[in-house]
Structure 1
Amino acid sequence: MPTYVPFAGVKPDLPFGDNLLPGFYGYPADPAAAVTGKPGEGAGKVDILVNTFTPVPPAPGSNKYWQALNERVGAELAFNIVPDADYGIKLSTTLTGGDLPDLVMLQSWTPNLPAVLKAKFADLTPYLSGDAVKEYPFLANIPEFSWRPMVANGGIYGLPTPRAGIGNVMFTRDDLIAQRSLNPAPKSFEEFVELCEGLTDAKAGRWALGDTGVGGGGALMFALTMAGAPNGWAVKGGKFTNAVETDSYTPTPRTAPISARIRAASTSAPSTCPRATTRTASSGSPGRS
């Protein structure tokens, strides 16, 4: 793994912690320069394939931001920006064709990813592993947990997007919770179940959990992690264990009644009635470049 060397030019308001990035209450009043000169000077044209979850921006000819970026970098950043819904097909076609751009955003669920990386992409290990990364201070500033998904076949094959580690996140309808004078911040599994029951009106077709997420994210994994299950996978002593293999998936005299109450407050079918809903931001690997 690359050696982690925090950048000392800016002092964060919130310190770095386990699976957390340094935090700031606002943009630094006197930001430190990342580099001197133009980092892409002499690179010429750099072809880049990426996806986007927002509308595709205008082309460089009518995009002043893109023009300014190229000017400051000192190279022509030729982004091929593809809507995420179409990215899988575009990526598959590009990989099959063999004429790859200089940089590619690879999703962690790309089929046969280790084999694809070994066959199609450069191994960056000699340049980034251990103290070698110190030649690039702002890559050395990326914590180790962000680098882990970049490792395959015993080597480093990508550059991560630095993000804090995340788990399941539940969004609630605070207006409905307030209407029923319920506790908006349950601190235990039992209190969470009580909140779900208070929001549920089966006769009116109104359910606390609009997406149980069986087979994916949603309330199921949220509840399972409260019962002690790992967020997808657990690693102990070098052995991987899937959540479905743990005792948290096995009904017990204590959990069976709670599970029944959760099911009674859940529906996987769409409803036109107002309800508290849940969506999850599941943990996953950042894109690869």
Structure 2
Amino acid sequence: MPSSRIDRRGFLGAAGVAGLTVAGGGLLTACGDGGATGGGAEASAKLELPTYVPAKVPAPDLPGNAQGLDPAYLRYPKDLVKSVTKAPGDGKPITALTETFTTPAPAMNRNAYWQELNKRLGSEMRMTIVNGLGADSVYREKFNATIAGGDLPDLMWFPPNQGLKNVPDLLRAKFHDLTPYLSGDAVKKYPNLANIPGYAWKTAVINGKIWGYAVPYGRSGQVYVANEDFWKPVGGTEFTSAQDFFDKAKELLDTKRKKYVLEPAYVNHIQQFAYWHGAPNTWRIDDGKLTYFFETDEYLAGIEFALKCQQAQLFWPDPNLATTLEKMEGGFLGLHVQSFPGFLNDSNMYDWPEKVVVPFAAERGMTPSWSYGWGSVGFTAINNNVPKSRIPTLLKVLDYLSAPLGTEERLFLDNGIEGTHHTRSRNGDVALTKKGNAEVLTTRQAINFFGNAPESLYLPNKPDVTRGIHQAQSELMKIAKVDPTIGYFSDTFAQKGASAKDEVYTAIKDIVAGRKPLSSFKKEVLPKWRRTAGDAMRREYEQAIEKGTK
């Protein structure tokens, strides 16, 4: 097992593991009415996104598609192509602000991987790496302090969900508009950037302009992950209804042996239960009118089912459980919720039989749903103190960092130097060495937050597991829904959306735990959310959508 495991579940898999190309969904920026200036929605609707040109790499064993199905390789691809013909840098140092959620990388002067990266880039990559393990606010505080200080790096990662405010104004004041360099066919100068799907680029667009390089991340959202062995006594993880699930779960419950069915993350399970009833992806739109998922009957049904599960003691009793994966591996838990890239990371690191439970109909006649993610983990902007003449150089560097699986560049980026950081078996599969774990895993996560490749599926020496994951992803996409507000900007969402949602989640935990009545959700919780942020977000999104569709 690799020694440097990523601990923040919300970003699990952002850097991946040896040979596993993964990245995850964001929630901050999108095109639309920026609040401070008018006309943003109309301009964004007219903007030509970067032309999508799939990379010319060895054909995967299982194909992907432009909608977000990841290509899968059952063995590490042979006959790697060279996607970058020469070092993209100009010999001058490149500075970047980024984040990590794992063990700090060794300093550049004692990090052979980092030193080799500098050689291959043709410029020294000087990263300021913020470790965000403590709290979401850690990177935000560093970001804001950097802006206030005025000494901005060349490349600055804009995170997707850390509450940055006044983003449109900040971009106009401090960063280059990259539209002329990336819009339409202009992106073809950077083939690996052209390989990034359009749904990811939308997250780097505000007020009709492309303000950054969209850091690609898998489009698959959260998934319900089961330990298959746990469910074997009741016939496996196929369920005909919510009641069938409940009955089988009760049969497996064994409190004397401390064997429970569900991890104690109530709100995560509620979202999955709501999918069984056909819940929307964040917002539902009907005739131009938006309804947030909190406000739907499907979500309320999810809360009711979670309360039923809690009363039946199906949840692990300690709500602060810190060893979920260990309990899953040991057969003391049956299900937990994970980001899809985190699930890939876990599938590579652990050998217990993980399986995605695809949402099923709660009752006969219902149509289940599932939610796409955004396909991006934020975007990387270029400081406007950088001379315009250097912008193509920085984009070429990001193009190198975006090399997909099947290229010589990705083999190095994911695994370092052969013989030093990784070894290859006779069939070509890749394994990190002890030095690779210490240097590549830690350094690469910081890099992948501001420059990465679209997600591909490859788990070393686990072809059957890879095949099963690709099949699950295919099934999920059949019922997947898109958030209709993607591509539009709400000032209220940026400033208050996260905190207002957290208040609702706190109240929901109280309801499921029995500290508040279920009736309080409609009588108290929803009205407060609407007053605090919900109605304003709804109004801003509806106005932006209306302008953008005219």
TM-score scaled by length of structure 2: 0.46
Q: Aligned pair 1:72/2:112, yes or no?
A: no
Check whether the contact 1:196–1:262 (CA below 8 A) recurs between aligned residues: no
In 2, the alpha carbon distance for the partners of 1:114 and 1:185 equals: 46
1:165 counterpart residue number = 219
1:8 counterpart residue number = 56
**What is the one-letter code of the residue matched to 2:152?**
L
In 1, the alpha carbon distance for the partners of 2:310 and 2:81 equals: 53
Greater helix proportion? 2
Check whether the contact 1:225–1:231 (CA below 8 A) recurs between aligned residues: no
Instruction: Give, in angstroms, the shift of residue 204 of structure 1.
Output: 7.8
1:142 counterpart residue number = 196
In 2, the alpha carbon distance for the partners of 1:125 and 1:184 equals: 51
In 2, the alpha carbon distance for the partners of 1:237 and 1:133 equals: 35
Instruction: Give, in angstroms, the shift of residue 198 of structure 1.
Output: 2.8
For 1:51-91, what per-residue CA distance to the aligned partner results, in whole angstroms no more than 9, with x for missing partners?
Answer: 11211111111111111110111001101112123323222
Instruction: Give, in angstroms, the shift of residue 270 of structure 1.
Output: 4.0
Q: Aligned pair 1:261/2:311, yes or no?
A: no
Instruction: Give, in angstroms, the shift of residue 246 of structure 1.
Output: 2.5
Check whether the contact 1:210–1:270 (CA below 8 A) recurs between aligned residues: no
Structure 1: where are the runs of 5+ without partners?
none
- Choose the corresponding residue for 1:83, options 131, 146, 149: 131
Q: Aligned pair 1:92/2:140, yes or no?
A: no
2:519 counterpart residue number = none
115-124 vs 129-138, greater mean Cα deviation: 115-124
Instruction: Give, in angstroms, the shift of residue 257 of structure 1.
Output: 7.5
- Choose the corresponding residue for 1:208, options 238, 261, 264: 261
In 2, the alpha carbon distance for the partners of 1:235 and 1:97 equals: 42
- Choose the corresponding residue for 1:41, options 90, 98, 117: 90
Percent identity between the two aligned chains: 36
Pairing of 1:1-289 with structure 2 (within 5 A): 1-17=49-65, 18-42=67-91, 44-85=92-133, 86-109=138-161, 110-112=163-165, 113-178=167-232, 181-190=233-242, 191-201=244-254, 207-214=260-267, 218-234=268-284, 240-251=290-301, 258=305, 261-264=308-311, 265-266=314-315, 269-270=319-320, 274-281=332-339, 283=373, 285-289=376-380
Q: Secondary structure at the match of 2:225?
A: coil
In 2, the alpha carbon distance for the partners of 1:287 and 1:277 equals: 29
Structure 2: where are the runs of 5+ without partners?
1-48, 341-372, 381-550
Check whether the contact 2:270–2:306 (CA below 8 A) recurs between aligned residues: no
**What is the one-letter code of the residue matched to 2:319?**
A
**What is the one-letter code of the residue matched to 2:212?**
G
Instruction: Give, in angstroms, the shift of residue 240 of structure 1.
Output: 4.7
Number of residue pairs aligned between Structure 1 and Structure 2 = 280
Check whether the contact 2:262–2:335 (CA below 8 A) recurs between aligned residues: yes
87-96 vs 257-266, greater mean Cα deviation: 257-266
Instruction: Give, in angstroms, the shift of residue 247 of structure 1.
Output: 2.9
Distance change >3 Å, CA 126–CA 238, structure 1 → 2: farther
In 2, the alpha carbon distance for the partners of 1:270 and 1:189 equals: 29
Distance change >3 Å, CA 96–CA 198, structure 1 → 2: farther
In 2, the alpha carbon distance for the partners of 1:119 and 1:223 equals: 44
In 1, the alpha carbon distance for the partners of 2:70 and 2:194 equals: 14
Q: Secondary structure at the match of 1:169?
A: strand
In 1, the alpha carbon distance for the partners of 2:54 and 2:61 equals: 14
**What is the one-letter code of the residue matched to 2:277?**
A
How large is the Cα RMSD of the aligned pairs?
A: 2.9
195-204 vs 24-33, greater mean Cα deviation: 195-204
In 1, the alpha carbon distance for the partners of 2:275 and 2:261 equals: 18
